[in-house]
Structure 1
């Protein structure tokens, strides 16, 4: 259901995790070469898994508990992805001599986590509303 706010948050997460990392560079190397997510197979797989979980969460809008658990799994996956980015950026060869510039793509998992947390808050709010209505019956 597109009118629910959590669906909007999940669509924004889909855009941030599924599309933008392949458009914006993760970082710019010392020679001015841009490094994209598609150049590393691990990043591509993790971004693909996160995108698939986001799509599954959007589709399963009738099952709020499943949606909530899928979003939590997606948050953990994005934290792993962020850890991989930090590890890779700290271990780039030649980083002590020249510092590479961090691109906007490296911060996309952080924004994705923020939108997933907002979606989970909205799902919890919906679940509490349904439970309160059930108590009245």
Structure 2
């Protein structure tokens, strides 16, 4: 299984996805408070506890589903056509995750602008770029599977 080059890239995509599940995606500063946007939660850094009423659970579910797809692709190495199809669908899922992250970051920023005093400053964090890295790993793995199919 891990003797093939594409299996290494699929494993790297899995590791990238797991890291993304727990790393911050965006950081917001509003009204003297800091907020961190992660896949499953929006946590506040500061003294006051003002909740952010934005449901981000769908992002966490889709991200978890993408990691499961990568694991399934890793273990379907004996069926190259199935593995190629899973990888292509997984690549589409990672693009969808990136779009969802952008959508939620805009929603959270709008929420904070409407309900906070002062300007809102938002900065993308490391987790925002991890779907792109996972996509690149899966793209390279997909090319390897195509080369194996041609043999």
Same fold (TM over 0.5): yes
Give me the whole-angstrom Cα distance separating, in 1, the residues matched to 2:7 and 2:87: 12
Equivalent residues in 2 for 1:8-87, closer than 5 Å: 8-17=8-17, 19-30=18-29, 31-39=33-41, 40-87=56-103
Shift of 1:57: 0.4
Runs of 4+ in 1 over 4 A off after TM superposition: none
Aligned residue-pair number: 128
Q: Does 2:116 match 1:127?
A: no
For structure 1, the 5+ residue unaligned runs are 130-137
Is the counterpart of residue 89 in structure 1 residue 111 in structure 2? no
Q: Distance in 2 between matches of 1:54 and 1:29?
A: 31
Q: With structure 1 as the length reference, what TM-score do the two structures score?
A: 0.87
Structure in which a larger fraction of residues adopt strand: 2
Gaps of 5+ in 2: 42-55
Instruction: Check whether the contact 2:28–2:120 (CA below 8 A) recurs between aligned residues.
Output: no
Q: CA deviation digits over 1:45-80, x for unaligned, max 9?
A: 001110111111001000011000001110111111
RMSD, matched Cα: 1.7
